[in-house]
Structures are given as structure tokens and as C-alpha cells.
Structure 1
Amino acid sequence: MTSSLLWLVILSTLIILAQAVKFDLPATVADNVEQSQRCLSQFVAKDTQVYITVKVGEGYNQRIDLTVSQDGDVPSVYTRKRDIQQSFANVFNTISDGQVTACFTNSLDKGFVENSQYNRWVELDMNIGAEAMDYNALAKSEQLGPLELELRKLEKVVQEIVDEMSYLKQREALMRNTNESTNERVKWFSLLSLFTLVSLGLWQILYLQRFFRRKHLID
């Protein structure tokens, strides 16, 4: 029992572990900033907590802006942050299923010309669901021990897996219904096409027979 619990805790830790993305963002003039923006996205289900942290390096006369949005049935913009200095963090809950996209732009101040020396590094850490919870605050508020806290993390991760499986099951049922409906339509369309071709063939034969008899070419 203890061994199984230990493996579950290790598995939950590996699942919860988040990997930050770090990259260099070249600076451009204001007219070209939209074309040079860098975007990172990840699918997030509805009613899911997302915690985004951003760190940026130093850059002379450069301004990094961030926009976090989501497509889907209800397109939404969750964050607009201009001129990020050193770090920035934001927490929000999604209102629909879709891709959550974080787009960065790095614009030069007026009077500066684009050059390879103008760039700043950006580090993005997007924590979703169980990853986004503040477990330290939870442990303090509910006075949880280390093992209890790990079990609470595991409970949250398992719940997310169950929700994800339920979502995939619903998607599978929707796709199956769509395929069955499409197959039914194709079947009736094929039968209609066959009936039309047979009818045209019979009509053509009868028409040619009458035509040749009028011309006395056949008896």
C-alpha cells in the first residue's frame, strides 16, 4: 500500500511539473511590430484556472507588450500588459474551450533603427489547472501536512484526468454522431444519384427508339 501511494505521489509530481519556455525576442519598429510578434498557445478547457508568469531580460529602449487571449465559441482577451519590466504574473479562469494564446511584441523607441543587437529574452511559464493552484496557501489555510498536501495535489490531478476523459468521451460521441449522419446522407445521395442515372438511361433508350421509328430506321 505504501509503495503504491509513493508511486502515485511521484506520478502526480511529474504531471504537475511545469516547463517554462524561454526565447529571444528581436526588437522592431512600431510599423513592423505586429508582423514580428511571437505567440505561444495551449488548449485549455472551459472553467479552468490558468496562472501565467512572465520574466523578461533587460533591453535598451525596448518595450515588451503581452496579450493573452483565447479562441473558441466565445473569443476572449484575458490580459493586456504594456511595457513589462522584469516580471509579470496573472491568474484567470477560462470561459470557453479553446486555445489560450500568449503573444509578445518587442518595439523600439522612436528614433532607433532595427539591429540584431536589439533583443530581449522572454521566459513564459503557463500553469494550468492543478499546476495553477497555490498549494502553499492551501496548506497554511487548512493546516495540511506534507503527505496530505501531496494527496490533495494528486486528488486535483486525478480530477482533471477524469474531466479530460469525460470531455474526450463527449467529443468522441459528437464525432461518431457526425460520422453516422454523414454516412446516412452519403447513402441517400448515392441512391438518388443511381436512381437519376437509371431514369436518364431508360428515358434516353425510349427517346431514341421513338426517334428511329419516326425516321423508319427500325421496325
Structure 2
Amino acid sequence: MSRSLISSILLTFALILLTPLSTYAIKFNLQAYRYPPAKCIWNAAHPNSLVIVTANVGPGENQRVDIEIIDSSPKKNVYLSKKGIKAESRLAITAHSEGEVGVCFRNWVEGDVSQDKMSKMSRVIDLDVDIGADAVDYNAIANQESLSGLETEMRKLEGVVKEIVDEMNYLKKREERFSSTNVSTNQRVQNFAWFTLIALTGLGAWQILHLRSFFKRKYLID
């Protein structure tokens, strides 16, 4: 195999690893209401993962957009809550639990607005969510530590590889948990089957003895 082919393979592999794995972008219209429901965008995140939320809110009169960042854990942790965000807002949190992180928006109508006008009021939300290695500002790190371009790319590669390893460890633990649950369920089913068999056998024996005793009392058998 030629050296150029090996270099091409290594370069392709590096580009695959450097492809953003946890970047989510969405653009949508957020309808305004007097008492607005929350519109939440959910993304998976592991514990201690850095999450950078960049929200760009379009213009809109008599409207106030609030943002709240929560998670899907049973405790429903609220990481951040901010009212009246405008233009571009950049928010950073660290996930505390395994699950999903939700970025929730509410668009409130303010002032005296007619119902007809209210039905046509909305604001455009441009949302970017970076999680894990993609949330790290490597340019700032490069400037702070005086890293060269190659060293910066290697630092990015290191972060992505670490994220992949963490993901594999998470999947391994999840598989072990599912396997343990499967074994436990099978054991319970087996125990229930044995209990059912013993109960039916005992009930059958009791019925035979009861019928035998009944027939003896009626002098139908000796």
C-alpha cells in the first residue's frame, strides 16, 4: 500500500472524527400568546457535559421572549431562566444528570393588543445547541496557550475522541443494565412458572382428596 493512500485514509478518518457530533441547529417561528405554552427543544447530554446554547431572537413589537433550560431527570432541574432575551444570547450550562437537556421558550404578549393582531404575532428563533467537545472554544484555548494550527486540531481531535470513548462507556453501561434487567425478568418469570405449577399440582391433589372423601361419605366408593 502506497504512502499517499495511507495518508488519504488517515486524513479521511481524522475528518470523520472531527465532524461535529453534538451540534444541533433549528429555526422556527414562536407564536405569541397572552399566556403562552412552553416550546421546548430537547437534546441528549451526558453528565458533566458542557452545553452552549445560542439563541438569536428576531424583532417583534409588544412581545417578550423568555428562555429556560431544564433537563428530563425526575427532579426536573432548572439550570437557567432568563426573561426578555433579545437579538443574540449565548448561554452556557453543565449537565448534571443523564438524559436530555431542554431549551424552552415562551413568547408573551405585552400591552393592549387586539385578538386579531395577537393571532398574527410571532418571533423568529434561530437556535444552536453545542454539546460536549463541540461546545469548547478551541480558538480561545489556542490564543491562551499559544497553540499552532496543528496543535489546535489535535486538541479538537482529542476532545472528540474522548467524547466517543465516553459515549461507548455509556452504551456499555446501558447494555449491562439492560442485560441485568433481562436476567432478573427471566428469573421472575421462571419463579412464577414454578409457583403456578406447584399451586396447580397442590390444588389438583386437594380436589382429588376432597372428592374421594365426599364419595366415601355418600357410600359411592369403598
Category of TM-score, reference length = shorter chain: over 0.9
Task: Indicate the SS of the match to 2:23.
Answer: coil
| Residue of 7, 13, 21 corresponding to 2:18 | 13
Q: How far apart, in 1, do the equivalents of 2:93 and 2:220 lie?
A: 85
**2:100 paired residue number:** 99
Q: How far apart, in 2, do the equivalents of 1:192 and 1:60 lie?
A: 70
For residues 156-186 of structure 1, the C-alpha deviation after alignment (integer angstroms, 9 at most, x for no partner) is 1111001110111011111111111111121
Q: How far apart, in 1, do the equivalents of 2:195 and 2:24 lie?
A: 56
1:11-90, aligned counterparts within 5 Å? 11-16=16-21, 18-30=23-35, 33-34=36-37, 37-72=38-73, 74-90=75-91
What is the letter of the counterpart of residue 69 of structure 2? V
| Residue of 153, 158, 163 corresponding to 1:155 | 158
Aligned CA RMSD, in angstroms, stands at: 1.6
Cα pair distance change 1:19/1:95, threshold 3 Å: closer
Identity fraction in percent = 40
Which 5+ residue runs of structure 1 have no aligned equivalent? Answer: none
TM-score, with normalisation over the residues of structure 2? 0.91
Which 5+ residue runs of structure 2 have no aligned equivalent? Answer: 1-5
- Number of aligned residues: 215
What's the offset of the Cα at 1:69? 0.6
For residues 66-107 of structure 1, the C-alpha deviation after alignment (integer angstroms, 9 at most, x for no partner) is 000113265321110101111111111111112100110101
TM-score, with normalisation over the residues of structure 1? 0.92
Paired residues of 2:23 and 2:131 also in contact (CA < 8 A)? no
Runs of 4 or more off by more than 4 Å in structure 1? none
Paired residues of 1:74 and 1:96 also in contact (CA < 8 A)? no
Paired residues of 1:56 and 1:123 also in contact (CA < 8 A)? yes
**1:198 paired residue number:** 201
